Every structure is written in C-alpha cells, then in structure tokens.
Amino acid sequence: MDRAESDNLLFRDEAFRIRGAAFHVYRSMGAGFLEAVYQECLAIEFSRRSISFEAGKTLKLSYEGQLLRQSYVADFVCYGGIVVELKAVRTLAPEHRAQVINYLRATEMSLGRLINFGATPKVEIERFALSPSASSALSAV
C-alpha cells in the first residue's frame, strides 16, 4: 500500500489511537484473563487517552432496509463509527471475523476492529472496512 492509499484509510488517526490503547492494555495485563477484564481495562485506557467511546452500545440491525427487533450489543463503538469487538481466545477463528463483518453490514457502520487479547506473544488486531463504493463489499486489512 502506498502513502497516498494509506492516507485515505477510514478513521486512520482514530484507529491508530485505538490500536495504541489495546497494545498498552496487553503490555500491562498480558494474556489469560476473561474478555470482560480486557473490556474494563480498555475502557479505562480509552478514557485516559481521550478516545471517544461507548461501551456495551446497543445497535439496531436491519435486513434489506427493514429494522429488525433483534439488536447487537457492541463491546465498544469508538468515535461514533468504529465497531470494536473484543476476544480473549488462543487464536482468532473465521467465525470471529465473520461476526465483525456481519455487524458492519447490519449496522451500516464503516470500520471494525477485532482485538484478541488471548493470543501470545502479542495482541492480535484486525481491521475490517466497508468499501466506500458498496456497502456489501468488505475488505480485511
């Protein structure tokens, strides 16, 4: 990816700040705790870094333009448009990635972060973005 392409990333600076907070939590806590522990630590770190977030935010889902009764509770929504999904598992599985992709499609948000605190020797962070040209196309980077 060239410099011009990287400058056009959605929420580039905001996503970088979220990543930094996740790295800090992992350096402080390491692997081995339940997801809820990392969620609480990350909320503290987001606050310390003045990262705008809502924890446990209920998001409405839609199907072909029609709102569903079912909803999704995001671990975090940062900056009003970045879905942050946390895991504390040995390794990320395809269904974890599918979960984030489905959340983005169903909520029409444009960027997702999948953060796994259970991996060793370092935290795993994956980025998912809705294609600007079509809400049904996603890219994982």
Report pLDDT for 46. 98
Predicted confidence band of residue 56 (pLDDT cuts 50, 70, 90): very high
Sorted by where each begins, the domain ranges of the chain are 3-140
From its phi and psi, is residue 120 left (phi > 0), alpha (psi between -120 and 50) or beta? beta
**Model pLDDT, residue 8:** 59
pLDDT of residue 136: 45
- Cα separation, 54 vs 83, in Å, equals 10
Q: What is the pLDDT of residue 5?
A: 42
Pairwise CA distance, residues 109 & 41, whole Å? 24
Model pLDDT, residue 107? 82
Q: Is beta strand 111-116 parallel, antiparallel or unpaired with respect to 82-87? A: parallel
pLDDT in tens, 83-132: 999 999 999 999 999 999 988 988 888 999 999 999 999 999 999 998 75
Amino acid 106: pLDDT = 83
**How do residues 5-36 score in pLDDT, each as one tens digit?**
444 577 899 999 999 999 999 999 999 999 99
C-beta neighbour count of 118 within 10 angstroms: 19
User: Which range scores top for mean pLDDT: 55-59, 72-76, 114-118?
Assistant: 114-118
CA atoms within 13 A on the CB side of 61: 14
Mean pLDDT of 136-140: 47
Residues 28-45: what's their mean pLDDT? 97
- Burial pattern 63-74, b for ≥16 Cβ within 10 A else e, equals eeeeeeeeebeb
Burial-class residue 79 by CB neighbours within 10 Å (0-12, 13-18, 19+): middle
Q: To the nearest 10°, report the CA torsion of 4, 136, 19, 97.
A: -130
